[in-house]
Amino acid sequence: MRKADRIYVAGHRGMVGSAVCRVLERGGYGNVVTRTHAELDLLDPAAVRAFYAAERPDVAVIAAARVGGIGANSAANARFLYENELIALNTVWGAAEAGVRRLLFLGSTCIYPRLAPQPIPESALLTSALEKTNEGYALAKISGLKLCEFLRRERGLCYHSLMPTNLYGPGDSYDLVGGHVLPTMIRKFEEARQRGDASVPLWGTGTPLREFLHVDDLAEACLFVLNLADPPDLLNVGSGEEVSIRDLAEKVRAATGCLATIDWDATKPDGTPRKLCDTSRIRALGWAPRISLDEGLRRTVACYRAECAARTVRLGR
């Protein structure tokens, strides 16, 4: 990418999009184009076509999506499929039609089969059944990455995709019902500590394993791959460290200084048992994460407390 390139970041107000904007600014890329949801409805193909025709970006980073944790996804697979499919197809197809030179599409490692070999290689895509709790979101992200692949093959456009593992960090949603596990645990333990609660309710059995990557590491990976002359179509990006939900809870409890005990509600879903992604391909190209889970948790608890104090924290419902 050139410093003067006009770079559209779709979803710039979200956790991923805002991290990408920060890393572009730090890198001296001063020509960033953004639109709020009120300014541009990505579900509307005509509006997206008109935007691309008017703004004519050189590069597009597609970080816009309807996202959520296991609770949000499993309660609304239809909406997650519908909205994320439209966002993916409109932003990618619209970019190709407008002659956008380069595009990076962001998905998630939930695109891989529920029982994929671990760690999950990119080649595991579409080799067996998806995890039911987030099938809609996964199908939409698979469509988006496949559209990028087809456009690259048919039109020679350098459109490629990154599939990050579970992300966390500044600007995350702390919605107790729809949020992801890590931010939700931070909020639950923080509020229990402040109220002096004796126990904290957590979901499932605590036995599943998850991998976590700080969103600032992902943003650096985005810039890294955007500066590759010939990037692979699809690359996983993750920390390579997995932790059980139970151990994560202990880490979050320690990071918040909460003394409450934990009540596991086995009526809530566990979701996929593991989803450690194989990141050997992106590491072989020269990228590596820099923020460990312990350091990331320390930073994120401090960030959550600051967002609460500034009343900018996204608490959802």
Number of residues in the chain: 317
Q: Specify the residue, 95 or 213, whose C-beta has the smaller distance to ligand GFB.
A: 213
Distance CA 127, CA 110 (A): 13
How many CB atoms are closer than 10 A to CB 85?
19
Q: Specify the residue, 108 or 236, whose C-beta has the smaller distance to ligand GFB.
A: 108
Distance CA 197, CA 200 (A): 7
What's the closest the beta carbon of residue 239 comes to ligand GFB, in angstroms?
A: 13
What's the closest the beta carbon of residue 292 comes to ligand GFB, in angstroms?
A: 19
Q: Specify the residue, 74 or 91, whose C-beta has the smaller distance to ligand GFB.
A: 74
What's the closest the beta carbon of residue 134 comes to ligand GFB, in angstroms?
A: 4
| DSSP E strands, the chain | 7-10, 32-33, 59-62, 102-106, 158-164, 166-168, 199-203, 209-214, 234-237, 242-244, 261-265
What's the closest the beta carbon of residue 12 comes to ligand GFB, in angstroms?
A: 20
Q: Specify the residue, 59 or 245, whose C-beta has the smaller distance to ligand GFB.
A: 245
- The residues binding ligand GFB (CB under 6 A) are 69-71, 73, 108, 110, 133-134, 137, 166, 179-181, 184, 202-204, 208, 210, 245, 268-271
H-type alpha helices, 115-270: 135-155, 181-195, 215-226, 245-256
**What does each C-alpha distance from 241 to 71, 129, 211, 289, 292 come to in angstroms?**
24, 25, 6, 11, 9
Distance CA 223, CA 24 (A): 7
Q: Specify the residue, 207 or 227, whose C-beta has the smaller distance to ligand GFB.
A: 207
First to last CA, the chain: 39
What's the closest the beta carbon of residue 22 comes to ligand GFB, in angstroms?
A: 21
Cα four-point dihedral sign 271, 221, 141, 178: positive
Instruction: Dump the DSSP string for 52-80.
Output: HHHH--SEEEE-------HHHHHH-HHHH
Find out whether 34 and 8 touch, Cβ atoms under 8 Å.
yes
Active-site hit among 8, 29, 52, 137:
137
One-letter amino acid for residue 113 of the chain: P
What's the closest the beta carbon of residue 183 comes to ligand GFB, in angstroms?
A: 9
Q: Specify the residue, 72 or 223, whose C-beta has the smaller distance to ligand GFB.
A: 72
Q: Specify the residue, 35 or 66, whose C-beta has the smaller distance to ligand GFB.
A: 66
Within 8 A by CB and 6+ apart from 163, the residues are: 107, 108, 109, 111, 112, 122, 141, 145, 234, 235, 236, 237, 277
What's the closest the beta carbon of residue 21 comes to ligand GFB, in angstroms?
A: 21
Q: Is 137 among the residues known to form the active site?
A: yes
Task: Enter the DSSP assignment of 260.
Answer: -
Q: Which positions are annotated as active-site residues?
A: 137
